[in-house]
Chain A
């Protein structure tokens, strides 16, 4: 069974997913960071594939992408780092990135490598549903990779139902009209949106991401969903960290409250 499904079968409240850019803050930090995130009690990990033009990302993740690329991170390099990582990391791991580097790597080859090292799913913000269904679905499924779809406050009910139909694992709820980036609070309007989606009784669980920055926003988001995803706030925390393991542990325990 895909680790993502296994996770949701065993736990469906207060799930915490952490996003980190591969090869950040230093090239060889990928694995130690994954280990620390798992030790800190995260339920799921998203590894960002750095890209030169991340149009859905705010300044923090733009910068971590740029730094990772400068460090020499690439898809090839990441797969070499991940070889054998399942000996230590048992939480579900999802790769999050933009389509172009994957196309250049070769979509089939990419999926094959994902399966080899033990990746469970993909989040590709610039792969819309129609292109996914036409060109990618079959390949992803052949290698057991879940494609995680995004929805936003603008997504129509009909489209959410369609996304729910084609989703695997969970649905990624973008918390507001936003690119990634830590915000300080969640507005009433956002809560209404969370409520509206919760009331739809979708087939798939939902994690809320973008703008989840601390224990308060994590708890609030979790009240209306199965949990939340943190990216920018985590990236900020580790950017200049001298004590990666300790800082990551502290971050996670603060969020868990």
Chain B
């Protein structure tokens, strides 16, 4: 892993905090697990045997590097120079697999036999089931009952891959509840199980570890942009934020380059103030969810509010602590994109570039309408995933 030169504005401290956000607020039952990870992950990940296996799988199994594609017609339509970082071309169809490949190698080296994970859109579940099949490890995926219904193809993919899919039936029956279930499952088998968290959320060291595995995205962007444009730094990087892993990966090597604007696209659902939204940076206040202090959508009494987004992957009432920090210090600009606008942006990308994006990703495309930029700006949009899993949602929306 490369280190960033100069002063690091965005860095996790020893206790797992990014500024005011982060930490490891876990029950004592999970303390040994989290501690085991905290003590070992950086050492293991920086070893050459790990890196060899990790880089090899990213190349030959995931299909990295993913292209940095100049989107000529999209550029023309928005009046700026737009590149798409093609994470949709990763094996399994989204960036999620970068993290699962890293974590499964880590789990193996820690001697774990069994893998559990939560999933929202099902992309992380599929990416986890995939690497479990690859490594011959037992796999259980927790998924909200509502998400099981709206992401059917991914549920079946997980099953084909040999994973067990367990419905989470409490609360809003979406990602937050699936995460609760996964944490409970981890408590009941702390010795043999590794929990592969799918985003930059959860107790320290997960947010930093997942970001590190995803940082390959911005590592490649830098190299590819240099080759294509003669410069490593674009003017803007745009990514959607559910928990924030694809955004963290796309931002990672630009955190400390103030000339690069970082744009985070959240889900506004039916409208920020409609009561059916997942725009955490606007609606959230500091609180604790899933083991870390972060921005959280909650009532005055501190009960977690059930979010809404048309995209299951953004349907989460929090954001990773690093994003709460980026927001807090003004390093990233947050925009909230409504369901309808995201769907239209999905159609736009389909028709201008021949790429049907995941609906999560479509939020990042629409963000261009909600920010200012200059015609001379060089913009990279992280195309976090493809839309195959969302066909049913596109069809039901029907406006194409």
Contact = CB atoms under 8 A, between A and B. Distances in A.
A103 interface: yes
A150 B170 contact: no
A100 interface: yes
Contacts of B300: 104
B391 interface: no
Given A53-B171, A128-B31, A154-B32, A103 B302 contact: yes
B9 interface: no
A128 B28 contact: yes
A58 B191 contact: no
A68 to B, nearest CB: 11
Contacts of A101: 301-303
B25 A103 contact: no
A177 B190 contact: yes
Interface in A170-215: 174, 177-179
Contacts of B33: 154
* Chain B, interface residues (CB within 8 Å), range: 35 or more
Nearest to A174: B29
Interface in B129-186: 170-171, 176, 180, 183-184
A131 interface: yes
Interface stretch (A69-77, A87-95, A236-244): A69-77
A155 B184 contact: no
A52 B171 contact: yes
B303 A51 contact: yes
Contacts of B184: 55-58, 179
A74 B301 contact: yes
Given A53-B176, A131-B25, 19 more contacts: A52-B304, A53-B171, A55-B187, A56-B184, A62-B170, A66-B170, A74-B301, A75-B302, A101-B302, A103-B286, A104-B287, A104-B300, A126-B27, A127-B25, A152-B29, A152-B190, A154-B33, A159-B31, A177-B188
Interface of A: 51-58, 62, 66, 69, 74-76, 98-105, 125-131, 149-152, 154-156, 159, 174, 177-179
9 contacts: A52-B171, A53-B289, A55-B27, A55-B180, A104-B300, A128-B26, A150-B27, A152-B28, A177-B191
Interface of B: 15, 23-29, 31-33, 170-171, 176, 180, 183-184, 187-191, 285-291, 296, 298, 300-304
